[in-house]
Amino acid sequence: METLKKIVSNQYFPAAAVLTAVVLFWAVGLLGGLSLLNNNQPPLTTLTWMLFVYVAAVLTPLAGILAAVDLVRRWKRNRAAEIAVDAYGEARAAEAEFMAEEAAAPEPALIQERPEPAPIQERPAQQPTQQKRPEQQQKPIQKKSGPRKAA
């Protein structure tokens, strides 16, 4: 019973069940599943059977393709997750090995004392720059707007 629960709760189960049903349907059809049409049946029974076979023939390839794509997608995703976990584990192991090497062979401390900062020398007071007097300043040239006349 426990095995059955594991199988049914498996993430691959729905797609695998659909794909199995599609394969069985087509196998039965190839091996003589349409023999009902050879028997002398009432027209309504024959029509119902034909509609069922028609719908199944149209939908089963679609369901089979979707199931196969889903199975492949899940398999690739799980494989990529396993690879990522393995890579993460290897990176952690390499980091642990590096840390162990660092702890085993400590290097001398490279502590350097900071030199005392040089005393700040007072700079001589700068004289303010002389500003030009208004009469010495040039006035900006203003452009006249409008059409130019040819001379």
pLDDT, tens only, 82-130:
888 888 888 888 888 888 877 776 555 555 666 666 666 666 555 555 5
Asked whether the beta carbons of 13 and 25 are under 8 A apart, the reply is: no
68 burial level (CB within 10 Å; 0-12, 13-18, 19+): middle
CA 131 – CA 19 distance, rounded (Å): 92
Which residue's entry shows tokens 């010495």? 136
Q: Residue 92's pLDDT is what?
A: 86
Check pLDDT > 70 for residue 151: no
- Higher-confidence residue of 42 and 107: namely 42
pTM above threshold 0.85: no
Q: Is residue 70 part of a domain?
A: yes
Domain presence at residue 106: no
Helix-helix angle 43-104:13-30, to 10 degrees: 140
Residue 33 has pLDDT above 80, yes or no: no
> Is residue 87, in this structure, part of any structural domain at all?
yes
32 conformational bin, left if phi > 0, alpha if psi -120 to 50, beta if neither: left
Residue 118 belongs to some domain of the structure: no
43 is in which domain, residue-wise? 11-101
End-to-end CA separation in angstroms for the chain: 110
Q: Is residue 33 part of a domain?
A: yes
Of 14-18, 61-65, 132-136, minimum mean pLDDT range:
132-136
Q: Is 146 left (phi over 0), alpha (psi -120 to 50) or beta?
A: left
Position 42 in a domain: yes
**Within-domain flag for 36:** yes
The alpha carbon of residue 76 and the mean position of all alpha carbons in its chain are separated, in whole angstroms, by 13
Name the DSSP class of 133.
Answer: P
Q: Is residue 18 part of a domain?
A: yes
